[in-house]
Amino acid sequence: MVSAGLLNQRIEVLKPLNVRRSPTGGQIVDFVTMRHQWASVRYLRGTNALQVGEMWLPSSISVLMRYTGEITERCRLKWEGKTYKITSLNGSRIDGTLTIVADLVDEGQQGVE
């Protein structure tokens, strides 16, 4: 079971609402807020890079939250003003946890068709 003390970050879960085509034929997906969820969030690959003095841009996160069957790989997560695409989802009803690995979405391309 996930301890409430560990869940200290607020995550916005976005679900795909509308899929449409751009004038050039590309797929455009509109996302809307499905829910807000308390979670534990940490950057991946950051600790090792800092220890060896490398420059790194945190682009992947690991998210631990209470289990819900509503969240799928098609959803997105918004945390600290940045949007992340879910790359891995592992839920367990037995212990009540949901572990997600997500990558930062290139926000510089939003609105460009």
> What's the confidence (pLDDT) of residue 113?
38
Domain residue limits, the chain: 9-109
Query: How far is residue 14's CA from residue 34's CA, in Å, rounded to a whole number?
Result: 5
Whether 71 and 89 have beta carbons less than 8 Å apart is answered as yes
The model's pLDDT over 27-80, given as tens digits with 9 standing for 90+, comes to: 889 999 999 999 999 988 655 555 555 555 568 999 999 999 999 999 999 999
Whether 71 and 109 have beta carbons less than 8 Å apart is answered as no
> What's the confidence (pLDDT) of residue 19?
85
Q: Which residues contact 10 (CB under 8 A, 6 or more apart)?
A: 36, 37, 38, 39, 79
pTM for this structure?
Answer: 0.79
Give CATH for domain 9-109. 2.40.10.270
What is the average pLDDT score of the chain? 84
Distance from the Cα of residue 20 to its chain's centroid: 22
Considering only residues 74 and 2, tell me which one the structure prediction assigns the higher pLDDT. 74
> What's the confidence (pLDDT) of residue 51?
54
Of 43, 100, 105, 42, the C-alpha closest to 67 is: 100
Q: Which class for 39: exposed (0-12), middle (13-18), buried (19 or more C-beta within 10 A)?
A: buried
111 has a pLDDT exceeding 50: no
Q: In the chain, what percentage of residues exceed pLDDT 90?
A: 61
